[in-house]
A and B are shown apart, each in its own frame.
Chain A
Amino acid sequence: MSNSHLFMKTGFPRAALNNGIGRYVCQLQRVTIKFCKNNGSSRGVRDFLEHDLVNFAKENPGIVVYVKPRRHRTPALSAEYLNGEKQLLFCRNYTREEVNKWLGLLRSQVRDTSAIRLRKMWHTDNPSIQGPWTPWTFRDPAQNLVEFPDPKLFKMETEQQTATEKLLEIFKAQQEAERKRANETG
Chain B
Amino acid sequence: MSSLRTCARAAIRIQKLTSVIYTGERGIKRWVAPTLRVINKRKAKLGPQPEPRRSNFLDWNYNAEIFAFNKRLSENFDVELLQQAFTHRSYVAQEEQKQREVGIENPELSIKDNTDLIVEGKCLTSEIVERYLRQALPRLPEEGILKLKDYLLSEEIVAKVSVQIGTKDIILSEDHPVRQETLVNTFFALVAALARSNDVVHTSFFVRDFLIATLSDKEILSIWTPSHPFQTLDAILNREKRGSADFRLTAQTGVNTILAAYQVAVYSDQQFLGIGTGETVQVAKNIAALDALQRMFGIADFSRPIPFNLTVDVSSQRTENLPLTKWCTENLKHTVGG
Asked if A115 is at the interface of the complex by the 8 Å CB criterion, the answer is: no
Q: What secondary structure prevails in chain A residues at the interface with B?
A: loop
Chain A residues with CB under 8 A of B168: 84
Chain B residues with CB under 8 A of A136: 250-251, 263, 277
Indicate with 1 or 0, residue by residue over B108-140, a CB within 8 angstroms of chain A CB atoms: 000000000000000000000000000000000
B261 and chain A: residue at smallest CB distance: A135
Asked if A126 is at the interface of the complex by the 8 Å CB criterion, the answer is: yes
Asked if B23 is at the interface of the complex by the 8 Å CB criterion, the answer is: no
Asked if A22 is at the interface of the complex by the 8 Å CB criterion, the answer is: yes
Tell me whether A22 and B210 are in contact (CB under 8 A): yes
Tell me whether B218 and A22 are in contact (CB under 8 A): no
Asked if B88 is at the interface of the complex by the 8 Å CB criterion, the answer is: no
B253 and chain A: residue at smallest CB distance: A135
* B284 CB, nearest partner CB in chain A, Å: 10
Tell me whether A134 and B217 are in contact (CB under 8 A): no
* B77 CB, nearest partner CB in chain A, Å: 13
Q: Which residue of the partner chain, among A17, A22, A64, contacts B68 with CB atoms under 8 Å?
A: A64
Tell me whether B217 and A125 are in contact (CB under 8 A): yes
Asked if B308 is at the interface of the complex by the 8 Å CB criterion, the answer is: yes
Tell me whether B59 and A66 are in contact (CB under 8 A): yes
Q: Which residue of the partner chain, among B68, B213, B263, contacts A62 with CB atoms under 8 Å?
A: B68
A81 and chain B: residue at smallest CB distance: B166
* A22 CB, nearest partner CB in chain B, Å: 3
* B303 CB, nearest partner CB in chain A, Å: 9
Tell me whether B213 and A21 are in contact (CB under 8 A): yes
Asked if B71 is at the interface of the complex by the 8 Å CB criterion, the answer is: yes
Q: Which residues of B230-274 have CB atoms within 8 Å of chain A's CB atoms?
A: 250-251, 253, 261, 263
Chain A residues with CB under 8 A of B277: 132, 134, 136
* B216 CB, nearest partner CB in chain A, Å: 5
Tell me whether B263 and A23 are in contact (CB under 8 A): no
B59, B61, B73, B169: most-surrounded residue (chain A CB, <10 A): B59
Tell me whether A130 and B68 are in contact (CB under 8 A): no
Q: A21-B213, A83-B164 are in contact. Are A63 and B68 (CB under 8 A)?
A: yes
Q: Which residue of the partner chain, among A62, A82, A129, contacts B301 with CB atoms under 8 Å?
A: A129
Tell me whether A130 and B301 are in contact (CB under 8 A): yes
Chain B residues with CB under 8 A of A126: 217, 219, 301
Asked if B35 is at the interface of the complex by the 8 Å CB criterion, the answer is: no
Tell me whether B59 and A32 are in contact (CB under 8 A): yes
Chain B interface residue number, banded: 35 or more
Chain B residues with CB under 8 A of A66: 59-61
For the A-B complex, the count of residue pairs with Cβ-Cβ distances under 8 Å equals: 86
Asked if B74 is at the interface of the complex by the 8 Å CB criterion, the answer is: yes
* B168 CB, nearest partner CB in chain A, Å: 7
Tell me whether A21 and B216 are in contact (CB under 8 A): yes
Asked if A92 is at the interface of the complex by the 8 Å CB criterion, the answer is: no
Tell me whether A64 and B216 are in contact (CB under 8 A): no
Q: Which residues of B165-215 have CB atoms within 8 Å of chain A's CB atoms?
A: 165-166, 168-169, 208-210, 213-214
Q: Which residue of the partner chain, among A18, A64, A68, contacts B217 with CB atoms under 8 Å?
A: A18
Asked if B283 is at the interface of the complex by the 8 Å CB criterion, the answer is: no
Asked if A54 is at the interface of the complex by the 8 Å CB criterion, the answer is: no
Asked if B72 is at the interface of the complex by the 8 Å CB criterion, the answer is: yes
Tell me whether B163 and A84 are in contact (CB under 8 A): yes
Indicate with 1 or 0, residue by residue over B4-29, a CB within 8 angstroms of chain A CB atoms: 00000000000000000000000000
Cα–Cα distance between A16 and B261 once the two chains are bound (Å): 39
Q: Which residue of the partner chain, among A29, A83, A132, A135, contacts B72 with CB atoms under 8 Å?
A: A29
Cα–Cα distance between A84 and B164 once the two chains are bound (Å): 9
* B262 CB, nearest partner CB in chain A, Å: 10
Chain B residues with CB under 8 A of A118: none
Tell me whether A82 and B261 are in contact (CB under 8 A): no
Chain A residues with CB under 8 A of B209: 21-23
Asked if B58 is at the interface of the complex by the 8 Å CB criterion, the answer is: yes
Asked if A3 is at the interface of the complex by the 8 Å CB criterion, the answer is: no
Asked if A25 is at the interface of the complex by the 8 Å CB criterion, the answer is: yes
Chain B residues with CB under 8 A of A131: 301
Asked if B224 is at the interface of the complex by the 8 Å CB criterion, the answer is: no
Asked if B36 is at the interface of the complex by the 8 Å CB criterion, the answer is: no
Query: Which residues of B are in contact with A by a Cβ distance under 8 Å?
Result: 58-61, 64-65, 67-68, 71-74, 160-161, 163-166, 168-169, 208-210, 213-214, 216-219, 250-251, 253, 261, 263, 277, 301-302, 308
Q: List 12 A-B contacts (CB under 8 A).
A: A17-B214, A22-B208, A25-B72, A26-B72, A30-B68, A66-B61, A68-B59, A82-B163, A82-B164, A125-B218, A126-B219, A131-B301
